[in-house]
Structure 1
Amino acid sequence: MADDLNDEWWNHDTPCEEGGSKLEKDSNAAGTKKRERTDEDPPVKPKSKRKRRRITDIEIKQTGISSNDFCKSLEEHYKGKLSVVEREAMAMKPCHFGPSNPEMSHTVPSILKEALPKWQRLCSAHDAKKSPLAIIISQGAVRALHVNKEASNFKGEKCKTVKLFARHMKQEAQAKFLAANVAHFAIGTPARLASLIAEGSLSLKHTKLVMLDWNWRNVKLKRMVDIPDTKKSLFDLLKDFIIPACQSDHVKIAIF
């Protein structure tokens, strides 16, 4: 059909692609425009940005712990978990401890020299397998390697070292090594040391010193006792094996 020439086309709304008339769309667009502020409007408060707390901003107490602090931590950890008899069985005396590092003034070689002044003579006479003379307990494998490197000046050429943590070798291989070789110096993590002692592959019979790498903090500023799983493994290792050996008067605990 032909267009009606008398039709006033400008009075009709033209439909839009999205639906609705052009006039309706224009009116809706006008209604969504942001109203301009006037002097009578209340002032707008600026949004305060929350300052993220960085690890470097946290103040850390730069002191270590003493043997008394260690006993308090042990008692607090097992509070309500052990009976009175069990807690009394874990009681420790000053004679059970070697040197500690409360002022953070020791290095790894210096605290080992103070704890074991006759180290070279002990190494020469030691011939027992499965039972190192000194055992160092660290937070993890990387830290254990670092401590072992720092201790190289103390150990001497005759000292044989065994590394007892998960990343170095499997537990079965570590057990075979301990059974076949004389080790003077051992360094490991709490969980692996506890497993080796529990299965009989590692013994404290000839051990003179157990040193806890207690005060060192990782990149997140956490010590060994600040990590729940590691803390539990450490304290169970102490309760089940190391403290009884200390009470037998042949093992001392040093706290680095």
Structure 2
Amino acid sequence: MGDDLGDEWWAHEDKSDASEAEEETQQEKQPTEKAPKNTKTKPEKRKSVTEGTVKAKKKKDNEQKVSNIPPKTETDDDKTTKPKRKRKKKTITDVLASSEPKPGCPADLQSMVKLYFSDKRSVIEQEELALQDPSFLSCNDLTHTLSSFLKQVCPKWSKVQKQHKEKSSVVLLIICSSALRAIELLKQMTAFKGEAKAVKLFAKHIKIEEQVKLLQKGVTHVGVGTPGRISALIEKDGLSLKALKYVVLDWNWRDQKLRRMVDVPEVKLDFMKLLESGILNGCKEGKVKIGLF
């Protein structure tokens, strides 16, 4: 009996020891099982920290880039949003409208001729073509009509008219800017010309061949026209300058845009070519005199 109790006590001790050993083993296992969980969470935290650092760095870089871009100035905005205002150039009309009309004088024509030939002729040639004061008639002071002016500059007109016998040539040449102005001047000079024959020398509605035939047909004393057509007639030998004594320039008259004959570029160019074609040489030889009306 005593032996049975002893065996039971030892058996109970063994069970308790076994249970304690199991508990210890379970306790030892628990930390080892949780360990992988802890090891998993640590990399995740590092990953999230790394991603946050990269994002913050990118954000900082972007901010630096933005800060390095210079801000748009007002001029940039004006260029992109506001249309440019073009500065209006002053026309000849604007300039002349703001200035009082002033009668032309020999110095005006002299300076214009000098400027025109400054880059086209040598210094010696320019001196030969330069207009001198004796080459000029008295100028219009803006008080004369065409007839009164012509009577002043051509006091012996009736005698000159009778002595003229050359065909295809004129004694008096009046140069103006347009056909309409030429017709107006022909009407204004009626009191002066008397029985002298005058001819229209412009291109409007008149063929150059008709004008050549008219000049060859009989003696013509006065020619009134534009520099372009007069030059063309000289080139075609339809008009001769042999008998020419007086050249009157319609210098002071202004059109609707307040331009004088020499203010219109194409007319001015034709006029300078006409002077070069023989009138300047006639002035140099003392055969031709120029008047500014």
Aligned counterpart in structure 2 of residue 231 of structure 1, from 268, 281, 284: 268
Aligned counterpart in structure 1 of residue 286 of structure 2, from 246, 249, 254: 249
Aligned counterpart in structure 1 of residue 259 of structure 2, from 192, 211, 222: 222
Q: Residue 242 of structure 2 aligns with which residue? A: 205
Q: Please give the residue correspondences for 1:90-239 in structure 2 after superposition, counting only pairs within 5 Å.
A: 90-101=129-140, 103-156=141-194, 158-239=195-276
Sort the Cα spacing of 1:58 and 1:68 in 2 relative to 1 into closer, same or farther, 3 A: closer
Specify the SS of the correspondent of 1:100: coil
**Cα distance in 2, alignment partners of residues 78 and 128 from structure 1:** 32
Larger Rg: 2
**Cα distance in 1, alignment partners of residues 246 and 151 from structure 2:** 11
Answer with 141-150 or 238-247: which moved more: 238-247
**Cα distance in 1, alignment partners of residues 102 and 145 from structure 2:** 14
**Cα distance in 2, alignment partners of residues 255 and 249 from structure 1:** 17
The CA deviation string for residues 96-153 of structure 1, in whole angstroms up to 9 with x for no partner, is 111212x322221122111111111221222211111101000000001111111111
Give the letter aligned to residue 176 of structure 1.
K
Specify the SS of the correspondent of 2:273: helix
Unaligned ranges ≥5, structure 2: 1-89
Q: Residue 83 of structure 1 aligns with which residue? A: 122
Specify the SS of the correspondent of 1:99: coil
**Cα distance in 2, alignment partners of residues 58 and 186 from structure 1:** 32
Instruction: Output the aligned Cα RMSD.
Output: 2.1
Q: CA deviation at 1:69?
A: 1.9
The CA deviation string for residues 139-182 of structure 1, in whole angstroms up to 9 with x for no partner, is 000001111111111111x1111111001411011011111111
Answer with 108-117 or 73-82: which moved more: 73-82
Q: CA deviation at 1:237?
A: 0.8
Could you list the runs of 4 or more consecutive aligned residues of structure 1 that deviate by over 4 angstroms after TM superposition? 53-57
Contact 2:176 2:261 survives alignment (8 Å): yes
Q: Which has the higher helix share?
A: 2
Q: Residue 10 of structure 1 aligns with which residue? A: none
Contact 1:134 1:209 survives alignment (8 Å): yes
Q: TM-score, normalised by structure 1?
A: 0.75
**Cα distance in 2, alignment partners of residues 250 and 177 from structure 1:** 25
Aligned counterpart in structure 2 of residue 72 of structure 1, from 108, 111, 125: 111
Q: Quick one: percent identity of the two aligned structures?
A: 38
Q: TM-score, normalised by structure 2?
A: 0.66
Q: CA deviation at 1:78?
A: 2.6
Q: CA deviation at 1:199?
A: 1.8
Q: CA deviation at 1:58?
A: 2.6
**Cα distance in 2, alignment partners of residues 122 and 60 from structure 1:** 40
Give the letter aligned to residue 142 of structure 1.
L
**Cα distance in 2, alignment partners of residues 99 and 147 from structure 1:** 19
Contact 1:62 1:104 survives alignment (8 Å): no
Contact 2:114 2:130 survives alignment (8 Å): no
Q: CA deviation at 1:85?
A: 2.4
Unaligned ranges ≥5, structure 1: 1-52
Q: CA deviation at 1:82?
A: 2.2
Task: State the aligned residue count.
Answer: 204
The CA deviation string for residues 2-61 of structure 1, in whole angstroms up to 9 with x for no partner, is xxxxxxxxxxxxxxxxxxxxxxxxxxxxxxxxxxxxxxxxxxxxxxxxxxx996993232
**Cα distance in 1, alignment partners of residues 221 and 175 from structure 2:** 15
